[in-house]
Amino acid sequence: MDHYYWFALKSVPQVGNVTFLRLLAHFGSPERALKATAAELAQVKGLGPAARESLSAFNWRPAADRECERLAACGAGVVDILSERYPKPLMEIPDPPPFLFVTGELKGSEPAVALVGSRRATQYGLCTATRLARDLSRCQVAVVSGMARGIDTAAHWGAVKGGGRSIAVLGCGIDVVYPPENQALFEAVAATGALISEFPLGTEPLAENFPRRNRIISAISRGVVVEAGEKSGSLITARFALEQGREVFAVPGNVTLSGSRGANGLIKEGAKLVERVEDILEELRLPCPDADPERPPEFSLTPREAELYVLLCRGALQIDEIIVQSALTPGEVSATLLSLELKGAIVQLPGKHFSVT
């Protein structure tokens, strides 16, 4: 029942990820937001009439009860945005999930690289993905992918066989095994890494879920390696990676095959060509085999800290800009920034500008 009210608030129509975070920052907890009066809701900056009406009228208890029952049945856990285990790079995107369902161990900070590609991969592509994932895992770099058939499956197995961590970002509920033939892979990834999903338990693998899933794959990774055809969904992940400021790599393919056009096209547009794991490690300045000594510390966040941290993840801001863009008073902003500095989460720059570390 620890996240009962988190499930409840997420179930309310008109409350998306951005609104959820704003309510969390204003009220301090999902429970307080759900029990707020109409007058109190009217004080939340940026909360429109439709959302206020929905919060007042919607019966969220059945959805929250159902989610708690399913969670207990499947044995998964929940990592919310205030937790030290919530991936801090995920807070850089415009709409970070308020919480993630997790099976296995999720870390707030670790070097990670995504490997994604076609479901109808060539033998060359499968072998290359397995080899790169194995070598990355041996260098203590987590391998992120989407658990789909083809390249994704090869990448996860490569990381498992390399003795390292793999993170599978699902386009369905964490209690749904998809594709079904990957049951053993689900168990292997959960045992050494993590399965994660932002979707409610029991969510089927609908087509519209996968583009949303892809933005998380790229967000939690320092770089994205693509091996795909010109119409592959993996190119969506590459686009998200570029928008999020991540490095994009591509495995070159046979120029006579249509299945190579996606990756080869990315190389033409400036993606880094990958032949071996060293190409990735050198570009991202990741050491091997030792862990990165400059890796930032993990830290937990209060609701107010989470709101400001998300703002600063999008770029350095001057304190007056932070006050304007947040739901906090000047005094609250100053105190929250100081707290974030003490945790090592942000650093103050000249001119009262602040940036994430």
The pTM (predicted TM-score) of the whole model is 0.85
What's the confidence (pLDDT) of residue 104? 97
Q: Check whether residue 275 and residue 340 sit in a common domain.
A: no
Burial label for 191, CB within 10 Å (0-12, 13-18, 19+), is: exposed
What's the confidence (pLDDT) of residue 148? 93
Arithmetic mean of pLDDT over the chain? 88
What's the confidence (pLDDT) of residue 232? 60
User: The domain spanning residue 149 has which CATH number?
Assistant: 3.40.50.450
Cβ–Cβ under 8 Å, residues 172 and 199: yes
Q: Check whether residue 151 and residue 241 sit in a common domain.
A: yes
- Of 34, 51, 73, the residue that ends a domain is 73
What's the confidence (pLDDT) of residue 296? 55
Q: Check whether residue 330 and residue 280 sit in a common domain.
A: no
When computed from its CA atoms, the radius of gyration of the chain, rounded to whole angstroms, is 21
What's the confidence (pLDDT) of residue 288? 76
Question: For 14-42, what is each residue's pLDDT tens digit?
Answer: 999 999 999 999 999 999 999 999 999 99
C-alpha closest to that of 288 among 278, 296, 273, 275: 278
| Interatomic CA distance for residues 198 and 142, integer angstroms | 20
Cβ-based neighbour number of residue 298 at 10 Å: 17
What's the confidence (pLDDT) of residue 169? 98
| Interatomic CA distance for residues 104 and 85, integer angstroms | 12
The answer as to whether 332 is a domain residue is yes
Q: Check whether residue 261 and residue 334 sit in a common domain.
A: no
Q: Check whether residue 235 and residue 172 sit in a common domain.
A: yes
Burial label for 124, CB within 10 Å (0-12, 13-18, 19+), is: middle
Write out residues in the chain with pLDDT < 50, as ranges: 290-294
- Of 284, 313, 338, the residue that ends a domain is 284
The answer as to whether 195 is a domain residue is yes
What's the confidence (pLDDT) of residue 14? 95
The answer as to whether 213 is a domain residue is yes
The answer as to whether 315 is a domain residue is yes
Domain range spanning residue 317?
Answer: 303-356
What's the confidence (pLDDT) of residue 111? 93
Question: For 275-290, what is each residue's pLDDT tens digit?
Answer: 889 999 998 988 876 4
User: The domain spanning residue 311 has which CATH number?
Assistant: 1.10.10.10
What's the confidence (pLDDT) of residue 293? 41
What contacts 249, CB < 8 A, 6 or more positions away?
Answer: 223, 224, 225, 226, 271, 272, 273, 274, 279, 280, 283
Question: For 69-112, what is each residue's pLDDT tens digit?
Answer: 999 999 999 999 999 999 999 999 999 999 999 999 999 889 99
What's the confidence (pLDDT) of residue 289? 62
Q: Check whether residue 123 and residue 240 sit in a common domain.
A: yes
Q: Check whether residue 202 and residue 239 sit in a common domain.
A: yes
